[in-house]
């Protein structure tokens, strides 16, 4: 299974109202320093996708931030969707990551990926 595909599967599993930063997602895939690769994988998603890509955010210290720079419109859309899911933005551009970070483990992710493999 390709790395991008794993990224998508994990993203689809993020619960409503929860988020994951690129680095953490990479960590869950057993590649602690592949944050950029995660971003690259998500950039390949088509416009109207059902994948909740807006739940993957950038990390800036203790804060979570929208770090998309592909198009301002996407950034605005991500912001709107997150607010819609209850994420309280501080100042208008960042929020306390710890309050919304999806708490899961590499073990659970491994099981998730294994199940996905069988599904296909």
Toward DNA, which CB reaches closer, 53 or 95?
53
Q: Shortest gap between Cβ of 19 and DNA (angstroms)?
A: 10
Toward DNA, which CB reaches closer, 43 or 108?
43
Q: Shortest gap between Cβ of 25 and DNA (angstroms)?
A: 8
Toward DNA, which CB reaches closer, 17 or 43?
43
Residue written as tokens 């709107």? 80
Toward DNA, which CB reaches closer, 1 or 111?
1
CA dihedral 44→46→51→57, nearest 10 degrees, is 50
> Residue 61: which H helix or E strand, with range?
none
Q: Shortest gap between Cβ of 88 and DNA (angstroms)?
A: 16
CA angle 96, 99, 105 (to 5 degrees): 115
Residue 58 pairs with which residues in a beta bridge? 65
Which residues of the chain form contacts with DNA (CB under 7 A)? 2-4, 21-24, 31, 33-40, 42-43, 45, 53-54, 56, 58-61, 67-70, 74, 91, 93
Q: Shortest gap between Cβ of 26 and DNA (angstroms)?
A: 7
Rounded to an integer, what distance in angstroms lies between the CA atom of residue 48 and that of residue 75? 15
Contact predicate 29/23, CB 8 Å:
no
């Amino acid at each position: 299974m390709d790395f991008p595909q794993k990224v998508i599967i994990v993203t689809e599993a993020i619960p409503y109202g929860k988020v994951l930063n690129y680095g953490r997602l990479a960590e869950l895939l057993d590649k602690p320093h592949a944050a950029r690769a995660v971003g690259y994988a998500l950039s390949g998603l088509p416009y109207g996708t059902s994948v909740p890509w807006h739940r993957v955010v950038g990390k800036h210290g203790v804060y979570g931030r929208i770090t998309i720079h592909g198009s301002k419109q996407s950034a605005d859309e991500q912001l709107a969707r997150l607010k819609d899911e209850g994420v309280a933005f501080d100042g208008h551009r960042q929020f306390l990551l710890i309050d919304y970070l999806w708490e899961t483990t590499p073990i659970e992710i491994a099981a998730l990926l294994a199940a996905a493999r069988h599904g296909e």
